[in-house]
Amino acid sequence: MKRALTIVFLALLMVALSGYSPADSAQGPKARPEVKLSFDHFYDQAELTAALKELQKAYPDLMKLQSIGKSYQGRDIWAVIINNPATGPAERKPGFYIDGNIHGNEIQGAEVALYTIYYLLKNSGRLEFVDRLLRDRSFYIIPTMNPDSRDYFLNLASDSNSPRSGLVPYDDDRDGLLDEDGPDDLDGDGSITYMRKRDPKGTYRTSPDNPMVMVPCRPGEKGEFIMLGSEGLDNDGDGLVNEDGPGGYDMNRNFGFNWQPNYVQRGAGPYPFCWPETRAVRDFILAHPNLMGAQSFHNYGGMILRGPGAKNLGETTAQDRQVYDYIGKQGEKILPGYRYIVIYKDMYTVYGGTVDFTYNLLGIFTFSNELDFDQYASTQPASQRRGGEEEDEEARSRMFRAGAGLEEIIYHQLVLMGEQLVEWKPYKHPLYGDIEIGGVKKMGRRVPALFKLAETCHRNAAFCLYHADQLPRLKVENVSLKKLDSGLYQLDVRIANERVTPSISFQAVQRKLHRPDQLKIQGKARLVSAGIITDRFRELSEPVKVRENYLPVENGIPGFGFVDFRLLIEGSGEINLIYDSLKGGYLEQKVSLK
């Protein structure tokens, strides 16, 4: 008997030391099938779908996978909801939203989103920080908004800048035909690179430092080549090459706030939310009004962006700007080399973008990260680096004519060892005759090399999770009950916020974007009157109009602050004191009237 008790004791000790508890047996990490995902790899739609379904199968209690709509070509637009139902329904917690790959060629945003899903699930029950997030927050993640162009970019011939739009046919050159003259992979290597033709009167020559590099001739200098642009043919016989490729619109100009027509900003489409992908995302966001923080992923340039996207919107209010600054400046530490900047001031103007839609219409604090910067220029000061999801026309035109610069070519030759580089080689072109084709392949620009992809994913996921952790964390404090005459009670209570984000953004307060917070009582009691204590030392308060057993809290609970309430209650027995914030969370506290 003694020996048996000793064995039981040792077994219990081993369990205690392992950190395992019987409650974990059904859904703890040890009971789940292992899901192994690699982040030195880009996932096409089939692989992404398989990975998401595998994760849902392994974590059915924490993850819900749903198709929120179909792309133009019929692919599912997947959305993931992550929540720990043991700590309450998702809609009663502050929600955090992530999307990636709105532009087809800006692919690594989907990997960052997938990594964030994987990291949260894999570390549930292992990391206290993750468990706290899953207890207090819910997550809503769309890894790719643009599955059609993502598959095109990954599996078909393209260059680093296209296809950017979705693949609804579009008349880029306004000749009445749709997508009739896109680029052509003349050498069959899976990438669209550049064409050059020898010509002694040309305006370009090879660099004396590296024969792969084309440089403009100086005045009086003899030329060697003319640059013919990207690989392609005159498919429609109009004398132009590559003037109407696949798609041609821009989903990030199609959201319904501060939208401007196509003649103001190219790619906007005929009206807001006219594309199936943007409609699906809009409907998903609107279906989850508890969203309080958001993140969109683009590339490139190493930037943490906030709105406004256009000058005509004016500056963000000082109250909300403090929240943005607090999180954005911390983001610069999480993401070395990234700059925290304002879209229209520091990059370019965006009308009808997701950032302005979610913040200005829904009161959601939203960032947009331009992922990664030129790998060969990573030692440059951030202020000197170019970037952004679209370059200015002059920079794009220079690259289009010249192909690649010396630093870039050296990086490709010495670091990537030529993997993403095509040496100049001859080709017989039906229009231009004898030409040469060469340059940087599609995966050699804008996206990180595979050996750096995991770092991109982890650091940007860390920024998202930091932002999610800074959403409102409300708690009930200083509950004080005082019995008065005639069956009345005075109940004083403080609702405090331990994080920087208020329970309602100042933008939402100003524009009345959604219902205010509510302080309620439930039970055999009536809320007679209420006020907000403005000076607890002198017992001063400001009355608040009471509705049916609740009072609206118009301004919410400030970040790193609190509000003291004084309630006059008539009744008896046990009541529920409830603080119900649409975006800030849901609190309950039992109080006995005695």
Q: How do residues 159-202 score in pLDDT, each as one tens digit?
A: 999 899 999 998 888 888 888 888 999 999 999 999 999 999 99
Residues 147 and 271 in one domain: yes
Residues 139 and 44 in one domain: yes
Task: Kindly report the average pLDDT of the chain as a whole number.
Answer: 90
Two tokens, residue 232: 């392609």
Is residue 431 included in any domain, yes or no?
yes
Q: What is the spatial distance between Cα 52 and Cα 79, in angstroms, rounded to a whole number?
A: 9
Two tokens, residue 57: 């199968």
Which CATH number fits the domain that encloses residue 465?
A: 3.40.630.10
- Phi, psi (deg, nearest 5) at residue 511: -100, 5
Residues 430 and 484 in one domain: no
Residue 130 has pLDDT above 60, yes or no: yes
Q: What is the spatial distance between Cα 171 and Cα 446, in angstroms, rounded to a whole number?
A: 26
H or E segment to which residue 119 belongs: helix 108-122
- Going by C-alpha positions, the residue among 67, 63, 66 that lies closest to residue 85 is 63
Residue 203 has pLDDT above 50, yes or no: yes
pLDDT score at 14: 36
Two tokens, residue 122: 């894999």
Query: Band of the pLDDT at 395, cuts 50, 70, 90?
Result: very low
H or E segment to which residue 5 belongs: helix 2-18
Is residue 160 included in any domain, yes or no?
no
pLDDT score at 172: 85
Residue 428 has pLDDT above 60, yes or no: yes
Query: 121 or 243, which is more confident?
Result: 121
Residue 477 near residue 579, CB atoms below 8 Å? no
Query: Band of the pLDDT at 339, cuts 50, 70, 90?
Result: very high
Q: Global pTM? A: 0.91
Residues 176 and 122 in one domain: no
Instruction: Please tell me the total count of domains within the chain.
Output: 4
Residue 219 near residue 247, CB atoms below 8 Å? no
pLDDT in tens, 70-100: 999 999 999 999 999 999 999 999 999 999 9
pLDDT in tens, 238-250: 888 888 888 889 9
Helix (H, G, I), strand (E, B) or coil at 195: strand
Q: Which of 185-194, 255-264, 399-408, 553-562 has the lowest mean pLDDT?
A: 399-408
Residues 311 and 457 in one domain: yes
Is residue 267 included in any domain, yes or no?
yes
Strand stretches in 461-549, DSSP E: 474-483, 488-497, 517-522, 525-535, 540-544
pLDDT score at 384: 52
Residues 400 and 540 in one domain: no
Q: What is the spatial distance between Cα 112 and Cα 245, in angstroms, rounded to a whole number?
A: 28
pLDDT in tens, 29-78: 457 889 999 999 999 999 999 999 999 999 999 999 999 999 999 999 99
Is residue 251 included in any domain, yes or no?
no
pLDDT score at 27: 45
- Going by C-alpha positions, the residue among 197, 199, 217 that lies closest to residue 207 is 217
Is residue 358 included in any domain, yes or no?
yes
Q: CA of 333: how far to CAs of 119, 366, 411, 519, in Å?
A: 20, 18, 26, 38
Q: What is the spatial distance between Cα 525 and Cα 575, in angstroms, rounded to a whole number?
A: 7
**Counting beta carbons within 10 angstroms of the beta carbon of residue 410, is it exposed (0 to 12), middle (13 to 18) or buried (19 or more)?**
middle
Percentage of the chain beyond pLDDT 90 is 79
Residue 338 near residue 369, CB atoms below 8 Å? yes
Helix (H, G, I), strand (E, B) or coil at 368: strand
Torsion of CA 24, 26, 29, 32, to 10 degrees: 180
Q: Is 125 left (phi over 0), alpha (psi -120 to 50) or beta?
A: left
Two tokens, residue 576: 């529920």
pLDDT score at 146: 97
pLDDT score at 183: 92
The DSSP bridge partners found for residue 426 are 436
Residue 300 near residue 112, CB atoms below 8 Å? no
Residue 24 has pLDDT above 70, yes or no: no
- Phi, psi (deg, nearest 5) at residue 125: 80, 0
Query: 153 or 8, which is more confident?
Result: 153
Compute the average pLDDT of residues 145-149: 97
Residues 294 and 343 in one domain: yes
pLDDT score at 112: 98
Is residue 255 included in any domain, yes or no?
no
Is residue 498 included in any domain, yes or no?
yes
Residues 190 and 116 in one domain: no
Percentage of the chain beyond pLDDT 70 is 90
Residue 565 near residue 480, CB atoms below 8 Å? no
Compute the average pLDDT of residues 262-278: 94
Residue 316 near residue 120, CB atoms below 8 Å? no
Query: Band of the pLDDT at 400, cuts 50, 70, 90?
Result: very low
Residues 459 and 330 in one domain: yes
Q: Tell me 30's DSSP state.
A: G
Q: What is the spatial distance between Cα 177 and Cα 171, in angstroms, rounded to a whole number?
A: 6
The DSSP bridge partners found for residue 506 are none
pLDDT score at 390: 53
Q: What is the spatial distance between Cα 161 and Cα 246, in angstroms, rounded to a whole number?
A: 12
For CA atoms 238, 241, 247, 250, give the dihedral sign: negative
Compute the average pLDDT of residues 449-472: 97
Residue 135 has pLDDT above 90, yes or no: yes
Q: What is the spatial distance between Cα 235 and Cα 166, in angstroms, rounded to a whole number?
A: 21
Domain range spanning residue 189?
169-246+379-444
Query: Band of the pLDDT at 5, cuts 50, 70, 90?
Result: very low
Residues 178 and 269 in one domain: no
Helix (H, G, I), strand (E, B) or coil at 82: strand
Strands 138-142, 95-100: pairing kind: parallel
pLDDT score at 389: 54
Residue 292 has pLDDT above 80, yes or no: yes
Residue 398 has pLDDT above 70, yes or no: no
Residues 183 and 307 in one domain: no
The DSSP bridge partners found for residue 533 are 541
pLDDT score at 171: 84
Which CATH number fits the domain that encloses residue 484?
A: 2.60.40
- Going by C-alpha positions, the residue among 216, 371, 234 that lies closest to residue 297 is 371
Is residue 528 included in any domain, yes or no?
yes
pLDDT score at 322: 98
- Going by C-alpha positions, the residue among 114, 66, 79, 247 that lies closest to residue 168 is 247
**What's the 3-state SS for 355-367?**
HHHHHHHHCCEEE
Residue 391 has pLDDT above 60, yes or no: no
Q: CA of 289: how far to CAs of 92, 144, 257, 504, in Å?
A: 10, 21, 17, 12
pLDDT in tens, 496-537: 999 999 999 999 999 999 999 999 999 999 999 999 998 888
pLDDT score at 387: 57
Residues 457 and 561 in one domain: no
Q: Angle CA(256)–CA(262)–CA(263) in degrees, nearest 5?
A: 135
